[in-house]
Chain A
Amino acid sequence: MISKGKEIKCVVWDLDHTIWDGVLLESEKVNLKDGIVEILELLDSRGILHSIASKNNYDDAMSKLHEFNIGHYFLYPQIHWNAKSQSIAKIREKLNIGIDTFVFVDDQSFERDEVASIFSEVFCVDALEYAELPAHPRLNPQFITEDSKRRRLMYLEDMHRNQEEEEYQGPKESFLASLQMKFILSDCEEEDLKRAEELTQRTNQLNSTGRTFDYDELNAFRHSDRHRLLVCELTDRYGSYGKIGLTLIELIETHWYLKLMLMSCRVMSRGVGTVLMSHIMQQAKKDGKKLLADFKQTDRNRMMYVTYRFANFKEIENDGQGNILFENDLSTIQPFPPYIEVNVREQNTSAKERYIDGTQPKNSFVY
């Protein structure tokens, strides 16, 4: 079972002869494979998601999974008679993660080949080898953070939101308002560093430069007087999306220089990218500076490019290889959308002091 590539974000399981021995349509008496519950649990704790692509009767299969008490592990299970490549496409669309971060486990080579014929990037594994999955390098993420442990729950909260959104009859904006979203911007604290590092590694679509930084580098920026490292969190009435955005700014004489801006794909439909951008623009303007921004254009981050351009950034350098330098004179700044409450928590930025006794409140404000 050799495979090189990105870290796996989702395992898609077949059911018959894969999760359990036996064929559910032939007999209700199927038995879970040895150690399957432990594997599901272990991978789940690493922040790896599970789903299902099985040709079965949906209700029967789901009630069997719940009987085994493992139904809650699976997001957007695809249990029907369509091609499994379609099932995986559907799961990918729902989770909004790259196709090259999937592993597909099935006992039938026909099914694995069918998936591979459509998606050569999917790592297809024979069910015989399921027990080796937890030891595989691609299923051992470099970081396990609070956010990764909560990942499945966050996607579940998302499922509920989406369900309600689909059922919601009124206009879109009043639905967004009904979520009571809060966008919280704060200077990166020590406990955020692992998640920040993880974000630089995992985020492809909404990422301005794709630069990755390790823990120590990020920690150095945090203590540097010439840098601001901001993290963003989004919450709503269903819960928290966790830390979903990061930006690194270098403060130079005439400009604030944006080195990195990224936002998790999970919050793409919430209109928060523009909020972070507007905040940075307002703060730079208040400081009497203009903005510069590095940008690395890829085949996946067009939305980020559009975000910059529509925020009135102009290309001042472009090497034709996708490396761009943007400038923004801050003449127009988009207001925040009215359906999001924006909270800014600031530490004492000039001295970057740490209050040892923890009693002194941070300077914070709400827009």
Chain B
Amino acid sequence: MELNQKIRSFIESQLVVFEDDAKFEDDENIFEMGFVNSLFAMQLLEYIELEFGMTIDNEDLDIKNFSTVNNIAALVNRKVG
């Protein structure tokens, strides 16, 4: 599966949104949708670390790196490269 697609399906399965079919684009800010909580953030980190065999350090934890599907994919590519 393509990297973006993988990340997107994880987020779609975990994100708490009210509309059943809430759609977001790969460059859309998921934090601004307002439904991101700490638990989701933690699950997202654990997913990325496990799925892509990488460690996310403090300096990577900038909200920008996680705000869109594209940004997460970019982070993964940078770290796993």
Judging by beta carbons under 8 Å apart, are A306 and B45 in contact?
Answer: yes
B42, CB-defined interface residue at 8 Å: yes
Total chain A interface residues with beta-carbon distance under 8 A: 30
Kindly identify, within residues 38 to 80 of chain B, every residue whose CB is under 8 Å from any CB belonging to chain A: 38-42, 45, 58, 61-63, 66
- Pick from A176, A273, A310, A312: contact of B16, CB below 8 A: A176
Binary contact readout B16-35 vs A (1 if CB under 8 angstroms, 0 otherwise): 11101000000000011011
B9: Cβ under 8 A from any A Cβ: no
Verify A274–B36 contact, CB threshold 8 A.
yes
Give chain A residues whose Cβ lies under 8 Å from the Cβ of B66: 310
Contact A173 B58 (CB under 8 A): no
Q: A328 CB to closest chain B CB, in angstroms?
A: 11
With CB as the reference atom, state the residue of chain B lying closest to A318.
Answer: B58
Name B36's contact: one of A174, A177, A334, A338 (CB within 8 Å): A334
Q: What 1/0 mask marks residues of chain A from 281 to 311 whose CB sits below 8 Å from any chain B CB?
A: 0000000000000000100001111110110
The answer to whether A307 touches B16, judged by C-beta atoms less than 8 angstroms apart, is no
Task: Give min CB distance, B47 to chain A, whole Å.
Answer: 13
Question: Any chain B CB within 8 A of the CB of A268?
Answer: yes
How distant is B4 from chain A, measured CB to nearest CB, in Å?
21
B62 contacts across to A, CB distance below 8 A: 309
- Give the CA-CA distance A200 to B7 in the complex, in Å: 37
Judge whether A307 and B41 touch: CB under 8 Å: yes
Interface residues on B, range: 20 to 34
Which residues of A lie under 8 Å from residue B39 when comparing CB positions? 268-269, 271, 303
A302 to B44, CA, bound (A): 13
Query: Are B61 and A271 in touch, CB under 8 angstroms?
Result: no
What are the residues of chain A within 8 A of B31 when measuring CB–CB?
310, 332, 334
Q: Which one of B34, B38, B45, B63 lies within 8 Å of A273 (CB-CB)?
A: B38
Contact, CB under 8 Å: A312 / B63: yes
Give every chain A residue within 8 A of B20 (Cβ-Cβ).
171
A residues 318-337 in Cβ contact with B at 8 Å: 332, 334-335, 337
Contacts of B40 in A (CB 8 A): 271
Specify the chain B residue showing the minimal Cβ separation from A336: B34
Query: From A174, which residue of chain B is reached at the shortest CB distance?
Result: B18
Cβ 8 A contact of B63, one of A174, A297, A310: A310
Known A173-B17, A310-B31, A337-B16; contact A274-B63, beta-carbon cutoff 8 A: no
Residues of chain B lying within 8 A (CB to CB) of residue A312? 63
User: How distant is the Cα of A326 from the Cα of B35 in the complex, in angstroms?
Assistant: 23
Tell me the bound Cα distance from A303 to B46 in angstroms.
11
Measured between beta carbons, the chain B residues less than 8 angstroms from A302 are 42
- Say how far A164's CB is from chain B's closest CB, in angstroms: 17
Most central of B35, B37, B40, B61 by chain A CB within 10 Å = B37
Given contact pairs A297-B58, A310-B41, enumerate 20 new A-B contacts (beta carbons under 8 Å). Answer: A172-B16, A173-B18, A174-B18, A176-B16, A177-B18, A268-B38, A271-B40, A273-B38, A274-B37, A274-B38, A309-B62, A310-B31, A310-B36, A310-B66, A334-B31, A334-B34, A335-B34, A338-B34, A339-B16, A339-B18
Please list 9 pairs of residues, one from A and one from B, whose beta carbons are closer than 8 Å in the complex, sorted by A's number.
A171-B20, A272-B37, A273-B37, A297-B58, A304-B38, A307-B38, A309-B62, A334-B31, A337-B37
The 9 closest A-B pairs by CB, nearest first: A271-B37, A307-B38, A309-B61, A335-B34, A273-B38, A173-B16, A274-B37, A303-B42, A306-B41
